[in-house]
Amino acid sequence: MKSKEMRNLIEVSHFVYNCRKCGLCGNKTSGTVPYVCPVKEHTEGFEHFFSRGKIIIAQGMLEGEITPSPELAEIIYACSLCGNCQTQCAMIDNHTGLPLVDPPQVVEAMRADLLREHPEWIDQEYLAMLNSAKQYDNPWGMPRTNKEKWMKGLSLRDAKKEPSEVLLFIGCTIPSNPVVSPLAQKAATILKLAKVDFAVLGKNEPCCASVLKKVGSFDLAQEMMQKNIDSFNALGISSIVTLCSGCYHTLKKDYKKSYPPLIPNVYHIVELLASLIKKGKFNLCKKKPLKVTYHDPCHLGRHMGIFDPPRDVLAALPGVEMVERIATRENTICCGAGGGLRLFEEGRLAERIGEASLQMAIDIGAEALVTACPFCEINLNAGAKRLDFPFPVYDIIDLVEEGLSTT
Ligand code: SF4
Ligand code: SF4
């Protein structure tokens, strides 16, 4: 590819040249790191499936030694952008503490260049998702009205008409999938009981563009983000609370970096729940005992450092006993659904990865796995179908709402 056709990769080429090719990102194991790369672990494990191989490909492209092809494009999409390779990589700037190699950024940049220059090489599933985002303002091909169905009977405020402190941002994934769709109503019920001054956007809620950026549609994502920033800033809200780790990561990181930046503060619901519980804003009653472990979503935990609030919420739930599995906090293992991986191989690789996450919960004797992201919940439930026995997966919102409903 010519230089101008690799403009995104060139922008992150310092990450490529800082890599020492040591291979820790594929081979490290320890008591808390069962494996690093979920894609390497759950495929044939070839070099190109993990970070070092992808960085070698990037260097080959930059130096003109590797000519991109449809096969190479497929390899670049075999990555969940979970970031564990970056966490386990020893290449850190001693002065700033920042990583010197950022493999997810390199992968995203290669996707952006390949998608722009050779859309004909990209799997139809990704292209359909991008078309849906343009046509319906959500990646999942659902009619806009699906975003307001869950609001029926709740008498919620419309953020466009009634000034409120908080915008409850549901995201596109929750209304699109019956496994997670009850979360919107449950979250709103909790916030109403806690007397939070909030509103929603219903069918006018836009796609945050998280998935679009992650699969490489940088230009479309940028266009949508800029439009959303203008409309969020005009709402007069002081904060946005998201239910999805992907939305949270994008709104908090990418929107805040844009110009003009997003003005409202961005929180994930686990942060708000932890704070409401601490302030005694609602009572939680005793439930039948349940031993759970927590799956840190990559885009909430490792990428954004939100580790304690979900654990504080679980600790406050009467009857819930929380045990830590291996691969926890920054060493968490991807659920398999990140970076568009559920569209890869028709979801088979993602489900194998999800099953492995569940197995770690089963191994420590947990009776359920709890997470805080609809992508994780959907994929872990899909992974659970591969087991020989039922194993429940909950969102933390499910457990809080359950505690409330019987008070
Ligand atoms: S990304 Fe980091 S861990 Fe992986 S090969 Fe390069 S320097 Fe080593
Ligand atoms: S981001 Fe995750 S899936 Fe992608 S190469 Fe790194 S460890 Fe593997």
pLDDT digits (tens, 9 = 90+) for 126-135: 999 999 999 9
| Mean pLDDT for the stretch of residues 355-363 | 96
By most ligand atoms within 8 Å of CB, the mutation choice from 56, 86, 100, 101 for ligand 1 is 101
pLDDT for 407 beyond 50: no
Return mean pLDDT, the chain. Answer: 95
For 326, the domain range is 282-405
Pure H helices in 139-236:
146-149, 173-176, 182-193, 210-214, 218-234
> Same domain for 254 and 364?
no
> Same domain for 373 and 297?
yes
pLDDT digits (tens, 9 = 90+) for 67-97: 999 999 999 999 999 999 999 999 999 999 9
Does any domain span residue 131?
A: no
| Mean pLDDT for the stretch of residues 223-251 | 97
> Same domain for 246 and 326?
no
Residue 195 tokens, joined: 């007397």
| Mean pLDDT for the stretch of residues 306-331 | 96
> Same domain for 156 and 251?
yes
- Look up the CATH number of the domain holding residue 240: 3.40.50
Cβ < 6 A, ligand 1 pocket: 19-25, 51-52, 55, 85, 89, 91, 101, 103
Q: What DSSP string runs through 53-120? A: HHHHHHHHHHTTSS---HHHHHHHT------HHHHH---B-TTT--BS--HHHHHHHHHHHHHHH-GG
pLDDT digits (tens, 9 = 90+) for 192-214: 999 999 999 999 999 999 999 99
Give the pLDDT confidence score for residue 212 in this predicted structure: 96
Nearest residue (CA) to ligand 1, atom 4: 25
Number of compact structural domains in the chain = 3
Cβ < 6 A, ligand 2 pocket: 36-39, 50-51, 79-85, 103-104, 334
By most ligand atoms within 8 Å of CB, the mutation choice from 12, 14, 25 for ligand 1 is 25
> Same domain for 111 and 141?
no
pLDDT for 405 beyond 60: no
Q: Is the dihedral of CA 33, 344, 396, 308 positive or negative?
A: positive
Q: How confident is the model at residue 406 (pLDDT cuts 50, 70, 90)?
A: very low
Based on DSSP, count helices (H) and strands (E) in the chain, helices before strands: 21, 8
Give the pLDDT confidence score for residue 4 in this predicted structure: 84
Residue 107 CA, closest ligand 2 atom number:
4
Residue 50 CA, closest ligand 1 atom number:
4
